[in-house]
């Protein structure tokens, strides 16, 4: 009688990989074939977007690579930007900063979320620079530097966004403590830069000019991507683009100068015909008004295709199949969507072929507007289940 540790049944000995005599290339091919979709990230476009921003300003151009490089992969994105000439990077957390430091040992790295009590040692060990946003953080950093010697940090002032930022009534106390460390940047953040006509933009710019005169003399920074596009008076010494690097417009209108970075395709799982009156998907929200062909596609809200893109009548978002638009019908579920392919050529939608969810026909901005959100959320919600491909050649600008 076999021991308890002996594999039994039809799966015994069916390990996938080396035991079957399969090479790494065969396994990779099979994994790609098994994936629900492919997310292609054009690194050349990221580099070209960085150079485009450089051409529009005399300030140093840094790069915001928080949230895993806006969902596109911190390491490949940061390496690409470094190769394009970027020297200064912004992340949200110290742990993101430590990961970035492991691949860019010489970069200047700022941590936007600032300093948590007890984390000072990590900042020193990884050569990270906290963006100090309160008197309490300044006190903690000054105290730590009193033991180690001066270490660099940014001072983040609140000029009107009222999230993080040193308040005006604390500036004198901050200025008294600042000699304990190296203030190498004074910064603030715009609340309404994506609305060029909003009066708060001018108010914040004037407030920043006033507040920074009360702090140690250091390079100044105010503008994100939208702030850069507002004009040179917002640029100061350092600009901090994020969304523009990733090919997306920070403004609500569709037009923008940035090269698209992302293409997202997902597999067609099944094509079927239904009769007039038949209903589709959870909640039976779509009812066919004619004999209808539907294609089921292997992406859902778990993959970053928002449930808000559900459509009871097919008048909302669309995908593209072989160049033909196909409207989303019914409810977006966790793992799949359904689209109407009745008007497509009979031989176009086939099982195993790909539909384009983001690309030339439907941009990140288009998808964001259809879902009632912003491009930032679309990018950072792209799911882990996609097979990710990074492309790089000679750069779009060289074509």
Res 28: pLDDT: 79
pTM for the whole structure: 0.90
Res 21: pLDDT: 66
Q: Are strands 129-132 and 182-187 parallel, antiparallel or unpaired?
A: unpaired
Res 7: pLDDT: 43
Q: Which CATH number fits domain 43-246: 3.60.20.10, 3.30.470.10, 3.20.20.10, 3.90.1140.10?
A: 3.20.20.10
Report, as residue numbers or ranges, the catalytic residues. 66, 282
Residue 296 near residue 333, CB atoms below 8 Å:
no
> Which 3-state string (H, E, C) describes the chain?
CCCCCCCCCCCCCCCCCHHHCCCHHHHHHHHHHHCCEEEEEEHHHHHHHHHHHHCCCCCEECEECHHHHHCCCHHHHHHHHHHCCCCEEEECCHHHHHHHHHHCCCCEEEECCCCCCCCHHHHHHCCCEEEECCHHHHHHHHHHHHHHCCCEEEEEECCCCCCCCECHHHHHHHHHHHHHCEEEEEECCCCCCCCCCCHHHHHHHHHHHHHHCCCCCCCEECCCHHHHHHCHHHCCCEECCCHHHHCCCCCCCCCCCCCCCEEEEEEEEEEEEECCCCEECHHHCEECCCCEEEEEECCCHHHCCCHHHCECCCCCCEEEECCEEEEEEECCCCCCEEEECCCCCCCCCCCCCEEEEECCCCCHHHHHHHHCCCHHHHHHCCCCCCEEEEECCCCHHHC
Res 20: pLDDT: 59
Res 9: pLDDT: 45
Res 10: pLDDT: 42
**What is the mean pLDDT of each successive set of 10 residues along the chain, which is 399 residues long?**
44 49 81 87 97 96 98 97 98 98 98 96 98 97 96 97 96 96 97 94 96 96 96 97 94 81 97 97 96 97 96 93 96 97 94 95 94 95 93 61
The alpha carbon of residue 224 and the mean position of all alpha carbons in its chain are separated, in whole angstroms, by: 14
Domain borders along the chain are 43-246, 262-362
Instruction: Report the CATH fold assignment for 262-362.
Output: Lyase, Ornithine Decarboxylase; Chain A, domain 1 (2.40.37)
């Amino acid at each position: 009688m076999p021991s308890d540790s002996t594999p039994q049944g039809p799966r015994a000995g069916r390990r996938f990989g080396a035991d079957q005599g399969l090479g790494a290339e065969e396994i990779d091919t099979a994994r790609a074939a098994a994936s629900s979709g492919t997310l292609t990230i054009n690194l050349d476009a990221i580099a070209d977007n960085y150079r485009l921003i450089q051409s529009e300003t005399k300030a140093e151009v840094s790069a915001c690579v928080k949230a895993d490089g806006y969902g596109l992969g911190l390491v490949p994105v940061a390496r690409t930007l470094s190769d394009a000439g970027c020297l200064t990077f912004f992340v949200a957390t110290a742990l993101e900063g430590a990961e970035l430091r492991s691949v860019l040992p010489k970069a200047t790295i700022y941590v936007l979320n600032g300093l948590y009590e007890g984390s000072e040692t990590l900042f020193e060990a990884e050569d990270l620079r906290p963006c100090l946003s309160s008197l309490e953080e300044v006190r903690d950093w000054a105290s730590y530097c009193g033991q180690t010697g001066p270490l660099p940090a940014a001072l983040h002032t609140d000029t009107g966004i009222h999230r993080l930022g040193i308040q005006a009534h604390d500036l004198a106390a901050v200025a008294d403590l600042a000699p304990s460390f190296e203030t190498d940047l004074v910064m603030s953040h715009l609340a309404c830069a994506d609305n060029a006509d909003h009066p708060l933009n001018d108010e914040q710019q004037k407030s920043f000019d006033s507040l920074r005169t009360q702090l140690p003399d250091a390079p100044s920074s105010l503008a994100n991507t939208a702030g850069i596009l507002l004009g040179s008076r917002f640029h100061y010494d350092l600009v901090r683009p994020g969304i523009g690097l990733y090919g997306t417009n920070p403004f609500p209108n569709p037009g923008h100068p940035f090269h698209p970075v992302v293409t997202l395709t997902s597999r067609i799982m099944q094509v079927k015909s239904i009769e007039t009156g038949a209903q589709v998907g959870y909640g039976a929200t779509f009812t066919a008004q004619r004999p209808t062909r539907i294609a089921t596609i292997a992406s859902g809200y778990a993959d970053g295709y928002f449930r808000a893109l559900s459509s009871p009548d097919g008048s909302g978002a669309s995908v593209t199949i072989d160049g033909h638009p196909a409207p989303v019908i019914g409810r977006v579920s966790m793992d799949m969507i359904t689209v109407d392919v009745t008007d497509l050529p009979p031989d176009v939608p086939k099982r195993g072929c790909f539909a384009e969810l983001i690309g030339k026909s439907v941009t990140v901005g288009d998808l964001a507007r259809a879902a009632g959100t912003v491009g930032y959320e679309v990018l950072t919600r792209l799911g882990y289940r996609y097979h990710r491909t990074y492309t790089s050649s000679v750069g779009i600008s060289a074509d």
